[in-house]
Amino acid sequence: MILPFVSDAEVAAAIPPAVAHLRAGRLLAYPTETVYGLGSAPDAAALADLSRLKGRPAGKPFLLLVSGRLMAEEWGLVFNASARVLAGIFWPGPLTLVLRGGEGRLPDQLRGREGGIAVRQTSQAAVRRLIEALGTPLTSTSANRPGTPAAPGAERIAEVFAEPIARGELLVLDGGALGNVPPSTLVDCTQSVPLLIREGAIPRAELRRAAGRLAP
């Protein structure tokens, strides 16, 4: 099923069935401020289904979208000094922070080799409303098969993932076509000194102008 997800009325109508779909352990495609994402509720069984849908190599973690820093901390994620400052300046927005914590609360499939979990507060307002209604973080990975471009809109997602949509496994929220936006910038904040993992929508120079010595 594909649900329109642009106007306030469309978003309000789509959120209840999307929340029910996620709580039932099924998967969702949705727009973000960068690319369309595929996601699930943050539990191990749903993440296993998401890995199969994506065709993602084993051991490569997904990230989490949260409604804000409070939600991340409620799920046990820890903001050190750099993470606090960077989140305070650039959230909501295309900055993903790798944080320690979450043991016993979040599935190990989310944890990278450095021991942290990647998380961001999206600036896509409708998706933030969805996360708030869901009451849990939403897992996220780009809506494509490995090695292919990210889908620019719901039509391409419907082509690539036609079978799981037809089976009711994947619900698509159609937020319209997205522009050619870089992925989020990724900063590892698991240690006292932050490390830039991927320079994306926010350049390193902008991080340093805003956060000074607490930027990577």
Per-residue pLDDT reduced to its tens digit, 84-138: 999 999 999 999 999 999 998 999 889 988 789 999 999 999 999 999 999 999 9
pTM here?
0.92
pLDDT of residue 120: 96
What average pLDDT does this structure show over 165-190? 92
Residue 162 has pLDDT above 80, yes or no: yes
Quote the tokens at residue 97: 């922070």
Confidence (pLDDT) at 79: 97
pLDDT at 26: 97
**pLDDT of 65:** 97
The residue with tokens 């599935």 is 107
Q: What CA–CA distances, in Å, run from 192 to 78, 88, 132, 180?
A: 12, 17, 30, 34
**pLDDT reported for residue 4:** 96
> How confident is the model over 2-37, as pLDDT tens digits?
999 999 999 999 999 999 999 999 999 999 988 899
Domains for the chain: give ranges and CATH numbers: 2-214 (3.90.870.10)
pLDDT at residue 198 tops 80: yes
> What Cα–Cα distance (Å) separates residue 200 from each residue in 22, 29, 95, 206?
29, 22, 8, 11
Give the mean model confidence (pLDDT) for residues 46-64. Answer: 86
Residue written as tokens 């902008």? 206
Q: Are 196 and 212 in contact (CB under 8 A)?
A: no
pLDDT at 58 over 80: no
